[in-house]
Chains A and B, each alone.
Chain A
Amino acid sequence: MDNFVFSSSCPLPIQRYSHITLAHGGGGTLMRSLIDSVILPAFGDKNLDQLHDSAVMQFPQGRLAFTTDSYVVHPLFFPGGDIGSLAVHGTVNDLAMSGAQPLWLSVGFILEEGLPLETLQRIVHSMRRAADQTGTAIVTGDTKVVDKGKGDGVFINTAGIGVIEHALEINPQQVKVGDAVLINGDIGRHGIAVMAAREGLEFESGIKSDSAPLADLVMALIAGGVEIHCLRDLTRGGLASALNEIAHASQTMIAIDERAIPVCDNVKGACEMLGFDPLYVANEGRFAAFVAPKDKEKAFSILSSHPLGAGASIIGEVKTGAPAVVMKSQLGAMRIVDLLSGEQLPRIC
């Protein structure tokens, strides 16, 4: 004891841990060390660096859009993306769907005890890259650690604030009979890519998620003067669920044409094999736009000239009738495209 020298520094520096421990969420030096060595260097924002209880920002002129979403994807890394970039894209896209330019994000991590630090590092750097790509800053955050077995590696919540700098009202109530319905590309890739990764299904040609930030594309439509009535990203539940929600919210009938809905062959093949309908499979980089009929071609042209809209298509229009989505099949017959009662489940045979 005579040689004991008191030190205020952490006796077990974070470098000695290769995995998240409960102590990393304890609010002590180890947690501070995790934030200092992993999270701050990745996000590096002046607001975040202050580690204040809340970020204080100068707000520009315009209306405010505010959203939040949580991400529980498994596996954490999948072809075409990971939970980190997804958590940024998802919230940025939610803001974009109200016509907002995304500005700031918050991030909440719920880490499971035992998570490799290297995994967390990959995730936060992926988030940073995605945020840079979208021109957003991660300005505030939170980290908690839960017991092993009580999480799925990492859960992420992101909230976002954006500014609406134009006069358009973009929401389902603005949808009008005659509106054209467009999508910015082929559907179903994200859901199939994640499921293939999760279940170890191997398809001959790898299917990559379409996870992408859509704000730039939406801003291009707005800048181009397109009279947008409604936007909706085609996430969980896919195109079919998104259109149903809008049909019911706007009390209109949405008529789509199966032949106009792009589905890449890989996804089509995987869906055939599993008994899935690509209309219901999740996307993370696709959205539907409801635009005034006069701007249909203009919107198509703007979408098509953007890398994230290269596969754009005019898939249908809004009609009078009972709130529903109807689809003309490729054989010319009409059918209902309804909401599913739950997730699609792989069939027996």
Chain B
Amino acid sequence: MKFVDEYRDPAAARHFVRAIKSTLTRPRSIMEICGGQTHAIVKFGLDQLLPSSLTLVHGPGCPVCVTPVEMINKAIEIALQPDAILCSFGDMLRVPGSQRDLFSVKAQGGDARIVYSPLDALKIARANPNKQVVFFAVGFETTAPNNAMAVYQAKRENLENFSLLVAHVCVPPAMEAILSSLDNQVEGFLAAGHVCAVMGYREYEPIAQKYHTPIVVTGFEPLDILQGIALCIKQLEEGRAEVENPYVRAVRPDGNLAAKKILAQVFCPGPRVWRGIGEIPDSGLHLTEEYSFFDAEMRFGLAEALRANAASECISGSILRGIKKPHECPAFGVRCTPEQPLGAPMVSNEGACAAYYRYRRHATKGN
């Protein structure tokens, strides 16, 4: 298939694997930031092809995983309101809140609906003028422009029954949080290609310099990932720490200017709590004052965080920071499964625990 098959070519993959093996001189740890990359690595078995001295560390780039329990609780609160419709992407509905998930709420009569775009939520709002329609705005810089556009459109239409429950997070502050932590093991990053497609990669340059850490913009196909690893290893071996962009088919240095413009108009940076990591300054996107009317937390009086009882056994914080691998968790596959998850990384399509459970559960050794 055009634009897919050529990036899964076995001969080209072998070429990159050979390049990595011949360059690597000592053990290295590279973090793939995005959960989509983690899934591709495990699904295609890329780590099986790579030398054992190379450790691929899974990063915090799964929007479902890093959304704190408090936000799930707020979404549930909204879905339980008799005159509200909560719209969300499908994978958020299975994530457990403190007591239950959105699927359970839906089964008990709460109105939680799966949509494929925030614009679908807008349509629902137009069709239900007597209901408050809330879109659960989760995700990184990738999904934020669409959500910004939905709010922008709602304002233009004076749609008073639409709002966003905003849980957006941004990647660069999280990278800095990982690099500056005392137990950091990450020597290089594969930056998330789709985030860079929106934001560009200029904002990564100060991080690469400050922490002397190579950052390679990487896509999601096997060859993208192998190429990203090869370039990252090359930089490490040569003692360089630069931002490189081999993902030129999707990413320009300054990103998508139109998307950035609408983002800047609707959202502004602010503190955000990441599940398992804690609050990171300026790592979240919040509605600007001009658009605060569309803030579901304000509209439903949910600004005060609902207290969450974190599952004590879940080590998602260590997994999201790349300190531990899913199979190192004593609960993995035993007391924590996709059917009964203790934490979000076991729920999400992009969660590292889910990837290991799905593709590696029976394996004796995982990378």
**A331 vs chain B, min Cβ distance (A):** 5
Q: Are B4 and A329 in contact (CB under 8 A)?
A: no
- In this complex, how many residues of chain B approach chain A with their Cβ under 8 Å: the count is 43
**B2 vs chain A, min Cβ distance (A):** 8
**B336 vs chain A, min Cβ distance (A):** 12
Whole-angstrom CA separation of A336 from B44 in the bound complex: 11
**A243 vs chain B, min Cβ distance (A):** 15
Scan A275-304; emit 1 where CB is below 8 A from any B CB, else 0.
Answer: 100000000000000000000000000000
Chain B residue numbers with a CB within 8 Å of A329 are 43-45
- B106 contacts A by Cβ under 8 Å: no
- A45 contacts B by Cβ under 8 Å: no
Q: Are A346 and B361 in contact (CB under 8 A)?
A: no
Tell me whether A333 and B362 are in contact in the complex, defined as CB-CB below 8 angstroms, given that A342-B94, A348-B91, A349-B142 are known contacts: no
Q: Are A269 and B1 in contact (CB under 8 A)?
A: yes
Residue of B42, B143, B337 touching A349 (CB-CB under 8 A): B143
Q: Are A336 and B4 in contact (CB under 8 A)?
A: no
Scan B1-44; emit 1 where CB is below 8 A from any A CB, else 0.
Answer: 10010001010010000000000000000000000100000111
Q: Are A333 and B94 in contact (CB under 8 A)?
A: no
The residue of chain B having its C-beta at the shortest distance from the C-beta of A265 within the complex is B1
**B250 vs chain A, min Cβ distance (A):** 13
Within 8 A of B (CB), among A291-349: 322, 324, 329-336, 338, 340-342, 345-349
Q: Are B45 and A335 in contact (CB under 8 A)?
A: yes
The residue of chain B having its C-beta at the shortest distance from the C-beta of A328 within the complex is B45
Q: Are B91 and A331 in contact (CB under 8 A)?
A: no
Whole-angstrom CA separation of A332 from B222 in the bound complex: 12
Chain A residue numbers with a CB within 8 Å of B94 are 342, 345
Residue of A199, A275, A338, A345 ringed by the most chain B CB atoms within 10 A: A345
Scan A176-215; emit 1 where CB is below 8 A from any B CB, else 0.
Answer: 0000000000000000000000010100000000000000
Q: Are B358 and A345 in contact (CB under 8 A)?
A: no
Whole-angstrom CA separation of A127 from B208 in the bound complex: 65
Scan B267-285; emit 1 where CB is below 8 A from any A CB, else 0.
Answer: 0000000000000000000
Scan A217-261; emit 1 where CB is below 8 A from any B CB, else 0.
Answer: 000000000000000000000000000000000000000000000
Q: What is the interface of chain B, defined by CB distance below 8 A to chain A?
A: 1, 4, 8, 10, 13, 36, 42-46, 48-49, 63-64, 89-94, 114, 116, 138-140, 142-143, 194, 222, 337-339, 348-350, 357-363
Q: What is the interface of chain A, defined by CB distance below 8 A to chain B?
A: 199, 201, 265, 268-269, 272, 275, 322, 324, 329-336, 338, 340-342, 345-349
**New A-B contacts (17) at CB < 8 Å, excluding given A341-B338, A345-B90, A349-B139:** A268-B1, A329-B45, A331-B49, A334-B45, A335-B44, A336-B361, A336-B362, A338-B359, A338-B361, A345-B89, A346-B89, A347-B89, A347-B91, A348-B350, A349-B140, A349-B142, A349-B143
- The 10 A-B residue pairs with the shortest CB-CB distance in the complex, in nearest-first order: A333-B45, A345-B90, A341-B338, A349-B142, A333-B48, A347-B349, A348-B89, A335-B359, A265-B1, A346-B90
A to B CB contacts below 8 Å, 15 in the list: A201-B116, A269-B4, A324-B362, A330-B10, A331-B8, A331-B46, A333-B45, A333-B48, A335-B359, A338-B359, A338-B361, A341-B339, A346-B89, A348-B91, A348-B92
